[in-house]
Amino acid sequence: MKLRTKRTVLCLLAMVVCVMLLTSCSSDPGTSSEKGNVIVDQLGRTVELPETIEKVCATHIYGGKMLFAMGQKEKIAFQMQIGADTEALAKVDDFYGSLPTVLTSPNGTDSPEGLLDLGVNIVFTDAGKGEEDAEIFQNAGITAIAVSGETFEDVYETARIMGKVFDCPERSEEVISFIEDLRTKVSSQVADVADEEKPVVLVCGSGGVYSAATKDMFQHQMVQTAGGINAGAGLKGKWTNISAEDIILWDPDYIVLGSSFGVDDVESILADPALQTVKAIKNKHVYIFPSSLGWWDFPLPQSVLGIIWTAKTIHPELCTDIDMLEMADSVYKFIYGYTYTELGGVL
């Protein structure tokens, strides 16, 4: 009897071990898939990842900022001079400040050869430049992953792609939740504004007041989320050239210039003789994004601040509880590990 019981126990144990082994085997492909030896980038390219990540970089501002947001500063190969915020970071952060710069790296940083010299084996390229741009690096032996950030959905997809590349899916969801929570906060505060009461906002690029953000750009979603109507919603492409007649026809309530760059300033637009009948000019509702540490109106993780600032500017009565400096400190701390104030930013 005891022998039979013992055999039964042994059989049960054997069955448990088999189940565990089968479960382990069946879960391996899923785990491998999540970490990803292969990923699909935002051009739909299937990209095989290197076994180990040595050094990484990005060829454009958006990709570079997302590397910081994803907590990958320690893997960046050189000081990507991609705005005043990273220049400020190099002054306060010993590690980032110690990295080679464009001038100190052997063969620069704008070619596959230069990146290879710096040990780069993953580069994030601009999906907007197409497959050809990515293949230049891929053909040189550097894994090229194309990413895009013109919509919130694009930004979230980039976060998830980087989460697979760097095996940090938790950080991906943190980034997505952080941005989405702030976006939802703004949306809820302007949710009761009727369509007919939403102000028309003209967002202008580096070409000055006669270049408009179109429906294909991040700025379109930025204005919509802030409770406004994008004046350039009927346009396609990127930064479309417009005329004084277009602006007069749209008659925007607000004109907003891109952060810290461009051929125009507030005073020159207010003085433009061709625009004196426009509501934004008559009411002196012409502004520039206030950040001294780079863009808030560009597809970047910190551009959630552009949404918050836009809502506070066009609906001040609905956003009295928002302190922009506190918001900026929080967002920059999340992305860079330093507050906006610690990086020397002013509003």
What digits encode the pLDDT tens for the residues 54-74? 999 998 889 999 999 999 999
What digits encode the pLDDT tens for the residues 243-302? 999 999 999 999 998 765 566 789 999 999 999 999 999 999 999 988 888 888 877 888
Q: How far is it, in rounded angstroms, from Cα 101 to Cα 80?
A: 7
Q: What is the longest distance spanned by two Cα atoms in the chain?
A: 105
In this prediction the pTM is: 0.83
Core vs surface per residue 11-31: b (16+ CB within 10 A) or e: eeeeeeeeeeeeeeeeeeeee
Helix axes 61-69, 152-165, angle to 10 degrees: 60
Average pLDDT (225-232) is 97
Name the β-bridge partners of 255: 202, 286
Q: How far is it, in rounded angstroms, from Cα 344 to Cα 2?
A: 78
Q: Can you list the positions of beta strands (E) in 220-263? A: 229-230, 240-241, 254-257
Instruction: Go through the domains of the chain in sequence order and give each one's CATH number.
Output: 38-181 (3.40.50.1980), 198-336 (3.40.50.1980)
Chain CA centroid to CA 166, Å: 17
